[in-house]
Chain A
């Protein structure tokens, strides 16, 4: 029992996408037009670089941050915190979702508490974490764990609860233990939901990272955004914002989307075009 019946139609190869280069060129053109409009608007607005930096100021600030070693170091710090927080939050979320999904007693005990906690946004926790753990990595990682935990947990729970009962019964009737049912049916069928939860959690974590670094760090891209404004170097703040955007784009396009697509094609219910049914 290595695959679900619903995946049988998924092995058909996807039709190759046409015009990928043309789409990328159009996207690049949009960015260039925005940059040109921004640069041209600077003399019209007539404000100093502190209020309204030009793209050329931002490019110069980017070069300076690289030359001075600030950007690579902050980028490394942010990515490390992000990876640790995301991994720990996802692990706890998956474990919690599976536990609540398969154990009725755990579900009854934890569901109200989790619903209550879900309503409390991470921003409210940061001051408490700062009091308990001080400024720095612990507070940031805990914030990220909190942010990632809930979307992963609820999506995992959904995946576990919607596992095809007919397959569970079939495996049970063949004498499978509870662990085998979990490993052979429930987890594979929940995988697309888990991956979707991870993708949502990864996005939330990225926003949480910026906020946590603004409040509780002396390094990182979030801190760069904050420090740039504090030191009247607005161009640096914009560099931080652009780096954040590009970083998320890279994570989403290079990792999350392909992994989600591959998981859905392998384990999920999809149409011929490879989209989720």
Chain B
């Protein structure tokens, strides 16, 4: 009788596992050109496949200082390495590159 809830839970957990694994693999791919990652805060350009909406801006503001938006690209300063990994894990982030800040 409780087979259905159990199957549903296992399916949900499997989907979540795939989702997070895909995010981690995507992050590895996006961060590979930046290796070795800085141990301290740094400035980055985060590219999306579309102009960022309020949701994306709020997310990025939480990870560092968002100083500008040009089309699909967001300029960010003072991003911690952990926050950069969080950003890279998002599938809606297409690429990340280092930025001089000017």
A: residues with CB less than 8 A from B are 67-70, 72-73, 218-219, 227, 250, 254-255, 258-259, 261-262, 265
Contact = CB atoms under 8 A, between A and B. Distances in A.
B18 interface: no
A67 B58 CA distance: 17
20 contacts: A67-B92, A69-B55, A69-B56, A69-B91, A69-B92, A70-B53, A70-B55, A72-B19, A73-B55, A219-B55, A254-B5, A254-B8, A255-B8, A258-B1, A258-B2, A258-B4, A258-B5, A259-B2, A259-B5, A262-B1
B92 A68 contact: yes
A68 B58 CA distance: 14
Contacts of B5: 254-255, 258-259
A258 B5 CA distance: 7
Contacts of B1: 258, 261-262, 265
A contacts with B: majority SS:
helix
Contacts of B99: none
Contacts of A219: 55
A60 to B, nearest CB: 14
Contacts of A70: 53, 55
A72 B12 CA distance: 13
A235 to B, nearest CB: 15
A68 B50 contact: yes
B95 to A, nearest CB: 15
Nearest to A255: B5
Interface of B: 1-2, 4-5, 8, 19, 49-50, 53-56, 58-59, 90-92
A250 to B, nearest CB: 8
A68 B59 CA distance: 12
Contact of B55 (A68, A255, A258, A261): A68
A130 B49 CA distance: 36
Given A69-B92, A254-B8, A255-B5, 18 more contacts: A67-B92, A68-B50, A68-B56, A68-B92, A69-B55, A69-B90, A70-B55, A72-B19, A73-B59, A219-B55, A250-B8, A254-B5, A258-B2, A258-B4, A259-B2, A261-B1, A262-B1, A262-B2
Contacts of B56: 68-69
